[in-house]
Amino acid sequence: MRKSRFSDEQIIGFLNQAEAGMAVAAPCRMQGFSDATFYKWRTRGRRRTRAVVLAKTNALASNTAAHASGKPPVWHATWH
């Protein structure tokens, strides 16, 4: 897989510029990447965000259920 020309921090900066009201074409033109690349990055960022939120929600739900039933959380059981 080819390494990206831009770091994750730079990509986040481009996405934040567009969210702040700058036209999508402006950062694309200034930095030399296509609109399609911008939209691909935006989609990938949303998927990561959703996955992180879902993982946190699932962890919270499993720990809450474990505490309600009186059993220790799953991660406690793996240490014994």
Longest dimension (CA), the chain: 58
Range of the domain at 35: 8-70
In a domain, 41, yes or no: yes
The answer to whether 24 touches 35, Cβ cutoff 8 Å, is yes
pLDDT number for residue 69: 63
pLDDT at 51: 73
The residue ranking higher by pLDDT, 31 or 53, is: 31
As a whole number, mean pLDDT of residues 53-64 equals 75
Instruction: Give me the pLDDT at residue 61, please.
Output: 73
Inside any domain, residue 54 = yes
Query: What is the pTM (predicted TM-score) of this model?
Result: 0.54
- Number of domains composing the chain: 1
d(Cα 69, Cα 61) in Å, to the nearest integer? 12
The verdict on residue 29 lying in a domain is yes
The mean pLDDT of the chain is 77
More confidently predicted of 52 and 75: 52
Give the residue, 74 or 5, on which the prediction is more confident.
Answer: 5
List the structure tokens of 14: 């481009």
